[in-house]
Amino acid sequence: MRESIRIGCGAGFWGDSPEGPRQLVQRGGIDYLVLDYLAEITMSILARMKAKNPALGYATDFVSLVMKPLAREIAEKRIRVVTNAGGVNPEACRDALLAAFNEVGVDLKVAIVTGDDLSGEAERLRAAGVSEMFSGAPFPDRIASINAYLGAFPIAAALAAGTDVVVTGRCVDSAVVLGPLIHEFGWSPQDYDRLSAGSLAGHILECGAQATGGIVTDWRDVAGDWADMGFPVADCRADGSFEVGKPEGTGGRVSPATIAEQIVYEVGDPAAYMLPDVACDWSQVKLEATGRDRVRVSGVRGRAPSNSYKVSATYPDGYRCATTMMIVGDDAAERAEAVAKAVLARCGRLIREAGLPDFAESSIETLGAEASYGAQSRTRATREVVLKIGVRHPSKEALQIFAREIYPAATAMAQSLTGFAGGRPEPQPVIRLFSFLIDKAELQPTVSLGETKLPVPAHIPAAAVNAPSPVTADVPDIATGETAEVPLVALAFGRSGDKGDIANIGVIARDAAFLPWLRRALTPEAVGRHFAHHVAGKVERFDWPGLGGFNLVMHRALGGGGIASLRHDPQGKAMAQVLMSLPVPVPASWLAAGGALHSFAKTDNA
């Protein structure tokens, strides 16, 4: 057993730069290269690909842009590779890999993990009355894909069987890191604290450069390095401890702040982050800088997982179509909205005349007039906007009418209307997410290496999971006296993420003294009002004492989320920045000379 292993993540999504894996293989000194390709909605895209061509359905970039060019160096350095690039067709991904290795004359063994695909079980699940775990909606009539989120133990079993490359279908993103740790350190299914720590290592690494300074609040600290961002590595030990860094000489930053922003990304209750191998408690996580671009992570706990796998199904729900155009001049936002209303009215009339129902949904956004801010917009007087009109309809024919009737606005409506590009927009399928739970005993994850097949039964705890008591932080009294308002960004930094139609914003105080004031300002009610133009469901707030902040979870916040949403920001990527403008009352003395926010006050008044 090795004392430590070094894992690097070279891809955070399908379409990430092949420079990431190349950088890590050539300069990272890694033992394992892991790559995460599967967003929730990617599975439906891959399913459509496979339906058209049985040889597709996997992340083709992994074979052509990563493994084929790097295979020889990976083999020479004995780097092992773990990825979920198999999508809905791990077998085809394996075959393509072996063909690529044969072309370059490299002998690397490839194992695949299957058992996540439940598409053949649709009728049984529908008959069993399976309902959506968040909305309670019934099982859809038509299904595009059904995949369970498998855990890390099948990956560990594949590595133990002697493979060089492990290709999975749908597994939890963090499993591509946890699997190697289980294999190398011999962790058992009951090593919950270590499994939770390994999962956190995976959660930090899984989005690539997001952990090394990408998309951080304090962007000026990193902007000079954007052209050569480093990708993250974690040095992990058998006791579950680990440090995060990046290859020497690469751009970006690894600091407690950049790592904290990645930890809060796409998490709900930090004390109960449920994964198939462990129920994670990350509420007391501690971050410590141990050197230049080095951060030690500690304070992680874990509990027994549930008896269920989460399953994500996708299903078609009609079509959508969207277009953009630019309007310039005085009253640009007002004229853009008038154009949008006229276009929708014209198309609605023509659609009804064709014997079709009205649009199922429409969306108007004036980009440049702070459409993301709703009632908080401060730039209605802007003289240049991009108008985005999106519509949804059960019929492709109706959307073809919409696509045909947009461009006549260029001569019939507002002056300065311009910027049409790319021809008429094409209707695209709307794919919605349907999530539910399934008993682990119903699935049989299997590792296939050559002709050998190894079943890997899931760990099913003997007792039900007991959720911890709600996490609360010490709440010191707030001094009375004169106050002044500052924007949230002066007091905190944060990041937003998405899970289906749920958005979260993690907010982390820049100083512990700011926490009581943040607590008073960031109530669920206040956050709900700030996002009233977007959020249709409840807002929850969870304390995050270890990081010194909060996690705000907003339900029904993304217009359906993913490619089911008509919004320009269907994944809530901009929501943290929108929240950063929220006015927060603080002691006026903080803005005076010598006060905690004096430098901000000077900048703000300049």
Report which of 236, 289, 238 is spatially closest to residue 259, judged by C-alpha positions: 289
Spatial distance between the Cα atoms of 263 and 440, rounded to a whole number of angstroms: 27
Question: How many whole angstroms separate alpha carbon 483 and alpha carbon 590?
Answer: 9
**How far is Cα 113 from Cα 445, in angstroms, rounded to an integer?**
7
Q: Tell me, yes or no, whether 583 lies in a domain.
A: yes
125 within domain boundaries? no
CA distance 419 to 392: 23
Domain C-terminal end among 432, 451, 470 = 432
Q: What percent of the chain has pLDDT over 90?
A: 86
The per-residue DSSP string of 474-518 comes to: --PPPPPS-EEEEEGGGTEEEEEEEETTEEEEEEEESSGGGHHHH
Residues 191 and 236 sit within 8 Å (Cβ to Cβ): no
What is the DSSP secondary structure assignment for residue 456, as one 8-state letter?
-
| Whether residue 285 sits in one domain with residue 215 | yes
pLDDT band at 369 (very low <50, low <70, confident <90, very high): very high
Does 322 lie in the same domain as 302? no
Residues 261, 371, single domain; the answer is: no
Residue matched to tokens 């369970």:
148
241-245, 328-332, 476-480: lowest mean pLDDT where? Answer: 476-480
Residue at 295 is within a domain: yes
pLDDT tier, 481 (very low <50, low <70, confident <90, very high otherwise): confident
Q: Which two tokens stand for residue 101?
A: 């290795």
**pLDDT, position 474:** 67
For the chain, percent of residues with pLDDT exceeding 70: 97
Q: What is the pLDDT of residue 84?
A: 98
In this structure, the answer to whether residues 154 and 19 fall within a common structural domain is: yes
Whether residues 292 and 320 share a domain: the answer is no
Tokens of 331: 């009253």
pLDDT at 381: 84
- Residue-wise pLDDT for 166-192, tens only, equals 999 999 999 999 999 999 999 999 999
DSSP string, 20-51: HHHHHHHHS--SEEEE----TTHHHHHHHHHH
**Residue 48 scores a pLDDT above 90:** no
* Domain assignment of residue 473, yes or no: no
Residue 28 has pLDDT above 80, yes or no: yes
In a domain, 54, yes or no: yes
The mean pLDDT value of the chain amounts to 94
Here the tokens at position 214 are: 């990408």
Bridge partner residues of 318 (DSSP): none
Determine the average pLDDT of the residues in 515-529: 96
CB 83 within 8 A of CB 35: yes
Do 31 and 157 fall within a single domain? Answer: yes
Whether 124 maps to a domain, the answer reads: no
- Check whether 276 has a pLDDT greater than 80: yes
Structure tokens, 138:
């019934």
Tokens of 18: 């092949």
Same domain, 302 and 385: no
Out of 247, 280, 307, pick the residue that ends a domain: 307
Using only C-alpha atoms, what is the Rg of the chain? 25
Residue 356, sorted as left (phi over 0), alpha (psi -120 to 50) or beta, turns out to be beta
Residue 106 and residue 169 share a domain: yes
pLDDT at 444: 95
Same domain for 280 and 327, yes or no, is: no
Residue with tokens 């019929």: 395
Do 102 and 245 fall into the same domain? yes
C-alpha–C-alpha distance, residues 86 and 97, integer Å: 11
Domain extent at residue 511: 483-605
- What DSSP letter does each residue of 127-187 carry, written as one string? HTT-B-TTT-PBPPSS-SEEEE-B-SHHHHHHHHTT-SEEEESSB-TTHHHHHHHHHHHT-
**Angle at 30 (CA atoms; ends 29, 32), nearest 5 degrees:** 165
More confident residue, 262 or 44: 262
3 state DSSP class of 61 = helix
CATH number at residue 381: 3.30.70
Q: Is residue 356 part of a domain?
A: yes
Q: Are both 75 and 14 inside the same structural domain?
A: yes
Q: Per-residue confidence at 605, pLDDT binned at 50, 70, 90?
A: very low
Let me know how long the chain is.
606
227 exposure class (CB count in 10 Å sphere: 0-12, 13-18, 19+): exposed
Whether 338 has a pLDDT exceeding 60, the answer reads yes
Please write the tens of the pLDDT for every residue from 385-431.
Answer: 999 999 999 999 999 999 999 989 989 999 999 988 678 899 999 98
Contact 362, 390 (CB under 8 A): yes
Q: How many domains does the chain have?
A: 3
Residue 246 contacts residue 252 (beta carbons within 8 Å): yes
- Segment 229-252 mean pLDDT: 97
pLDDT at position 602 over 90? no
Instruction: Look at residue 496 and tell me whether its pLDDT is greater than 90.
Output: yes
Of 281, 307, 333, which marks where a domain is finished?
A: 307
Question: Both 336 and 414 in a single domain?
Answer: yes
Any domain includes 333: yes
Is 60 exceeded by the pLDDT of residue 606?
no
For residue 374, is pLDDT > 70? yes
